[in-house]
Amino acid sequence: MYCEKCAKQLPDDALYCLACGKPTGNISREPNDASKATKRRADFGVVVLVVLAIAVLLIFAIPKMAHQSSEPTMEFITTARHHASFVSIPHEQTVFSGSVAVNPHNMYFFIFTVKARMKKVRLSGKFQAVGGTRNDVQAVVCSEEDFVNFRNGHQVPVFYNSGKATVGDIDASLPEGEGKYVLAFSNAFSPLSGKTVNGEAVLHYETGF
């Protein structure tokens, strides 16, 4: 190249003219090259920081994700514990046992309670009536509310009704849930003869925990 002031021929990489000392065009390009190099270094630093940040996130996030995916959900744990710990235990409760006297034109009854925790509830047993000309009574199992109407001679829904019988097998399946029920021996149809009822009735049910 040549000096713009004195036209002396100079090397291509000269910064100043060797004859007159005027700066060459390389002076103006040098800062640009330096700034480009600086910018490249800055860009490289940003890329390095981003890569490091991603790496740190992956280091902490991947084990946590793996831990979460390996753990069962709370709903599954609750269900599993429920099925694993539920144990059904059978129980018996005597409602009636022995002998009772049922006066003429009257009833003798037992009230018993079914609680909400009781499952598969059933009242079973046997009875035998003695006395009078036919030795018969009527055994009925119904709710406490329906028994009020039964005592007054009304037709009511029942869980067991022996009809007039001397001997009978009590077998009444009761609904689950809180409620009160009645086992009644009726001699209402006999105006003069008292009866004696012998037997037993047991409430069977299951509970769990």
What is the per-residue pLDDT for 13?
A: 76
What is the per-residue pLDDT for 77?
A: 47
Helix (H, G, I), strand (E, B) or coil at 97: strand
99-116 tens-digit pLDDT: 999 999 999 999 999 999
Could you tell me the pLDDT band of residue 6, with boundaries at 50, 70 and 90? confident
Based on the fold, state whether residues 154 and 196 are members of the same structural domain.
yes
CATH at residue 162 = 2.60.120.680
What is the per-residue pLDDT for 3?
A: 80
Based on the fold, state whether residues 24 and 120 are members of the same structural domain.
no
Provide mean pLDDT across the span 13-24.
76
More confident residue, 181 or 9: 181
Considering the chain, what percentage of its residues have pLDDT values greater than 90?
Answer: 55
Give whole-number Cα distances, 203 to 50, 110, 208, in Å: 75, 12, 17
Based on the fold, state whether residues 158 and 62 are members of the same structural domain.
no
CA distance 5 to 20: 8
Based on the fold, state whether residues 21 and 103 are members of the same structural domain.
no
Sheet harboring 119-130: ordered strands across?
88-102, 195-208, 119-130, 167-173
44-76 tens-digit pLDDT: 777 777 778 787 777 776 665 555 545 545 554
In the predicted model, is pLDDT for residue 27 greater than 60? no
Could you tell me the pLDDT band of residue 177, with boundaries at 50, 70 and 90? very high
Based on the fold, state whether residues 183 and 104 are members of the same structural domain.
yes
Based on the fold, state whether residues 119 and 172 are members of the same structural domain.
yes
Task: Indicate the number of domains in the chain.
Answer: 2
Residue 178 lies in a domain: yes
Of 16-20, 112-116, 184-188, the range with the lowest mean pLDDT is 16-20
Q: Is 43 exposed, middle or buried (0-12, 13-18, 19+ CB in 10 A)?
A: exposed
Residue 30 lies in a domain: yes
Provide mean pLDDT across the span 17-22.
76
Enclosing domain of residue 18 = 1-71
More confident residue, 13 or 132: 132
Residue 83 lies in a domain: no
In the predicted model, is pLDDT for residue 31 greater than 50? no
Provide mean pLDDT across the span 123-147.
95
Provide mean pLDDT across the span 147-154.
95
Structure tokens at 176: 């689950």
Residue 24 lies in a domain: yes
Based on the fold, state whether residues 57 and 118 are members of the same structural domain.
no
More confident residue, 26 or 114: 114
Based on the fold, state whether residues 62 and 152 are members of the same structural domain.
no
Based on the fold, state whether residues 63 and 94 are members of the same structural domain.
no
CA distance 186 to 161: 11
Based on the fold, state whether residues 106 and 63 are members of the same structural domain.
no
Based on the fold, state whether residues 67 and 135 are members of the same structural domain.
no
